Structure 1
């Protein structure tokens, strides 16, 4: 198949400067960028409502640690299924329609979590929330990738990825206000009710955002719609396998850090600063800066070298954290920024890299399948840490996170470099 751009922004290649990537968009491309940025930010916000309300929820329903952890696990596992389903929809009904479906799904079920009268109802609502959570990123990423120019695609998708930190930060601010002003038995419900915010985004998407011209034309002609199995045929089969392995390694490493590192540092190392405002500020700020910087790095070094660089740095920083001396709160704060930076920067390349691996007819299917299979398998890494911690201790078990990044490095050996590549229509 001859590689042809899916969109052709009428902007000269000489567009440069800090915002050259944004000025290179057509007006419609800019609206798509805003819609996808808002969608992922609110996706993050709705996801973070649970962990930020976990203590109050556990106390209200009298949950065990296992029951509490299951609320997060079921979200991630179901989100993998939702992501795969959304990938098929992306290629069949369009990027924008799928984006609206996923945003509406996670918004509705986040609000319904606030009405839960018992644990089973909360668990079920959280599971259905995962359906929308899993598919939103791929829909928005594919939509914007098809508007972006090849030379800017890495940083453009990195800016979309950075909206996760924006939504996370907003959730922390709102949680702080709500938990300080509302009674604990009601505060967690109010937090879930604020998950209705994405409904406002749906109005914007419906009125202002459209699929890239080439995609809209293909959908209008109802050209051949390929089944999910198409990404397992020919040369795409190899790309699908190694891209799924890459996503598994990166997300396995990240989930291990996010799930167990705070517990290890606080319970076994006695670092009291963990979970404080200063710690969260450095972690979120580091993540935001990492997302943005990672995009420029992936455009400058290439997709594969960028993944390799941040995989090595993330694994190294994780091992440094494991060996922090007891009581070294200042050192912990100092390392919090680079850890958040590197473990987030590695995600910046996914949006552009996965889009460039697949032709337009299966781009949504391939991108969403590989990323979400990685999410599903990666979600078991924290479980492995939990089983191993009983005999080896959490510190030794955290090596599973480093193993995840090694898996990512191995996966890169089977994937092509795609920097500067025009998307195949």
Structure 2
């Protein structure tokens, strides 16, 4: 009799678990897409904003880097808050900030106000990096976890591409850059609807000694068999905080994360925040078509990375792309008289492999750090990566006007070489292992 009555209950829990994981997957992916959208839309309208607000090259660089500065502050702060007070609460609050700030930036009247709004928006983006992937990973099964996390970056690049296309279309239609910036409110509102009512991570609850609440989530959404298989039951109460994050093996892993992440994003943000300016400085005929095309290839690269990560493994998807990107940027830097097709090909190769490798920024930080400091680690690594990205974005327009585009590209190639060497020495292989195994 007990087997007859328990089977439907087990089936019901299994059904609820699949629905919940899909919902969390969608909400985290939508948030990443929103991050890419907010950053991508600025890259198109920044030249128009520069003229409308009378910005100098330095001011344009500051506005271009503003979101990255915000990420530097927001990612570690939200990571600490998420580890301290829970994933679910921050998961919801963060998306509300996107709605408010996305609308507010359309009403600025000078460069200072726009800079402040973009910094605050960057803080929300940083929070998304620290919270979304951790939330997804702590619910998702080990099998295919890398593909799910990689898909977050596919959505990031997809959001960036959609933003570029939408911004160009609206600009061509004669709409103000203010309306273009305000479009980010639409996907932000949709993300809030998807996230409303998502439960707290049972891994986080167990790591904070809240076993009764964890049991409620497990019974309703996951089931004991799933919890045992995924090592969720292995989570015990441990001390967290930044003191633990910067101690021993956690500190060594954090340094690796910060370096490889920074070397991945610094050249990308510097080049593609000012993509129309870079392409125009290289005497390419149609910067608009080139910008859209290169970003489309980046999206394709992220998709290929998501589809192959479980077969290739983490290390093979991390190290070789660094060398390929270094060669691509070096060719652009050295071959000053290259025909347009060759230059675009190099940028396309760079964009494709940068995005393919960039998926790992949503995978490695989650997999190799323990639950009690997981979001904090993601936040600190994201912040460290954005230091390089912000400096590069700020200096690129100045560099183009002083040392030239060629030298800027060679500097980007050097950054990729640093990433390759550090990754070769420090990157672990985590494919196919549970979070308990990869983080301990």
TM-score range, shorter chain: 0.7 to 0.9
Quick check: 1:91–1:361 contact (8 Å CA) kept in 2? yes
Structure 2 equivalent of residue 5 of structure 1: none
Quick check: 1:80–1:373 contact (8 Å CA) kept in 2? yes
The number of residues matched between the two structures is 398
Deviation by residue 1:141-174 (Cα, 9 ceiling, x = unmatched): 1111223332312221111111112212222232
Superposed displacement of residue 390, structure 1: 6.5
Alpha-carbon distance in structure 2 between the residues aligned to 1:56 and 1:387: 18
Quick check: 2:61–2:393 contact (8 Å CA) kept in 1? no
Quick check: 2:329–2:347 contact (8 Å CA) kept in 1? no
Structure 1 equivalent of residue 103 of structure 2: 111
Q: Which runs of 5+ in 1 are unaligned?
A: 1-9, 12-22
Residue 31 in structure 1 maps to residue 31 in structure 2: no
Residue 356 in structure 1 maps to residue 346 in structure 2: no
Structure 2 equivalent of residue 204 of structure 1: 194
Q: Equivalent residue of 2:430, what SS?
A: coil
Superposed displacement of residue 337, structure 1: 3.4
Q: Name which of 102, 111, 130 aligns with 2:94.
A: 102
Residue 93 in structure 1 maps to residue 85 in structure 2: yes
Alpha-carbon distance in structure 1 between the residues aligned to 2:274 and 2:169: 26
Residue 154 in structure 1 maps to residue 146 in structure 2: yes
Q: Equivalent residue of 1:338, what SS?
A: helix
Structure-2 change in CA distance of 1:176 and 1:258 (3 Å): closer
Superposed displacement of residue 84, structure 1: 0.4
Alpha-carbon distance in structure 2 between the residues aligned to 1:260 and 1:42: 20
Q: Name which of 250, 259, 273 aligns with 2:264.
A: 250
Residue 288 in structure 1 maps to residue 319 in structure 2: no
Q: Equivalent residue of 2:152, what SS?
A: helix
Q: Which runs of 5+ in 2 are unaligned?
A: 1-9, 212-236
Quick check: 1:282–1:333 contact (8 Å CA) kept in 2? no
Q: Equivalent residue of 1:114, what SS?
A: helix
Alpha-carbon distance in structure 2 between the residues aligned to 1:41 and 1:227: 29
Superposed displacement of residue 210, structure 1: 2.7
Structure 1 equivalent of residue 412 of structure 2: 401
Residue 232 in structure 1 maps to residue 246 in structure 2: yes
Structure-2 change in CA distance of 1:392 and 1:196 (3 Å): closer
Alignment of 1:5-404 (within 5 A): 26-183=18-175, 187-197=176-186, 198-207=188-197, 209-218=198-207, 221=210, 226-259=240-273, 263-267=277-281, 269-273=282-286, 275-277=287-289, 279-324=290-335, 326=337, 328-383=339-394, 392-404=403-415
The normalised TM-score by structure 1 is 0.85
Quick check: 1:294–1:306 contact (8 Å CA) kept in 2? yes
Q: Equivalent residue of 1:147, what SS?
A: coil
Structure-2 change in CA distance of 1:300 and 1:333 (3 Å): same
Alpha-carbon distance in structure 2 between the residues aligned to 1:78 and 1:166: 22
Structure-2 change in CA distance of 1:385 and 1:128 (3 Å): closer
Structure 2 equivalent of residue 16 of structure 1: none
Quick check: 2:325–2:354 contact (8 Å CA) kept in 1? yes
Quick check: 1:102–1:131 contact (8 Å CA) kept in 2? no
Structure-2 change in CA distance of 1:398 and 1:98 (3 Å): same
Alpha-carbon distance in structure 1 between the residues aligned to 2:291 and 2:409: 21
The normalised TM-score by structure 2 is 0.82
Alpha-carbon distance in structure 1 between the residues aligned to 2:24 and 2:106: 31
Quick check: 2:61–2:394 contact (8 Å CA) kept in 1? no
Superposed displacement of residue 192, structure 1: 2.3
Quick check: 2:75–2:123 contact (8 Å CA) kept in 1? yes
Alpha-carbon distance in structure 2 between the residues aligned to 1:134 and 1:272: 35
Deviation by residue 1:196-226 (Cα, 9 ceiling, x = unmatched): 220232122013x334433345457185662
Alpha-carbon distance in structure 1 between the residues aligned to 2:421 and 2:204: 34
Quick check: 1:145–1:351 contact (8 Å CA) kept in 2? no
Query: Alignment RMSD, CA only?
Result: 2.7
Deviation by residue 1:84-124 (Cα, 9 ceiling, x = unmatched): 01111221222232222222223322211111122221111
Alpha-carbon distance in structure 1 between the residues aligned to 2:363 and 2:134: 8
Alpha-carbon distance in structure 2 between the residues aligned to 1:402 and 1:244: 18
Structure-2 change in CA distance of 1:254 and 1:180 (3 Å): closer
Structure-2 change in CA distance of 1:257 and 1:56 (3 Å): closer
Alpha-carbon distance in structure 1 between the residues aligned to 2:396 and 2:292: 26
Quick check: 1:271–1:326 contact (8 Å CA) kept in 2? no
